[in-house]
Structure 1
Amino acid sequence: MAKTNPLEFIQQVRSETSKVTWPTRRETVITTVMVFLMVAFATVFFFLADLGLKAGVAFVLGIGS
């Protein structure tokens, strides 16, 4: 494997970085909001699933709560 000197490495990194298609601010904001919404929905879903399982186990074991 050939060694690359630091200056050449930095030039290669800059060259590759210029090829990247960066998201717009709007795309970034929309994606961030969607992530937060999905986290909120998952939180509610698992909370309700936990309550349901807790009630089911309590019923099967005859534990009143």
Structure 2
Amino acid sequence: MPEVISSVIQQIEYEAGARKLHVMFRETGAYTYYGVPRSVYEAFLNAPSIGQFFNERIRDRYPTERRD
């Protein structure tokens, strides 16, 4: 998983074939977001603010499942 510079998000990973985005939060653990286009993942990696991008473009926009 690529580590990112964020006070809230520790790592992100993407499964292109399945369009799954895995996000590891520093405080609340890991979540999977389903149906995320690759372009959104790439923009997420390159966003000036990882947390702001997550809140505006990912959070509450894709089906989500908490990972153990």
**Greater relative CO (CA pairs within 8 A, separation 6+):** 2
Both structures adopt the same fold (TM-score exceeding 0.5): no
* Structure with the higher fraction of residues in helix conformation: 1
- Using the size of structure 1 for normalisation, the TM-score is 0.21
- Using the size of structure 2 for normalisation, the TM-score is 0.21
* Structure with the higher fraction of residues in strand conformation: 2
Rg larger in structure: 1
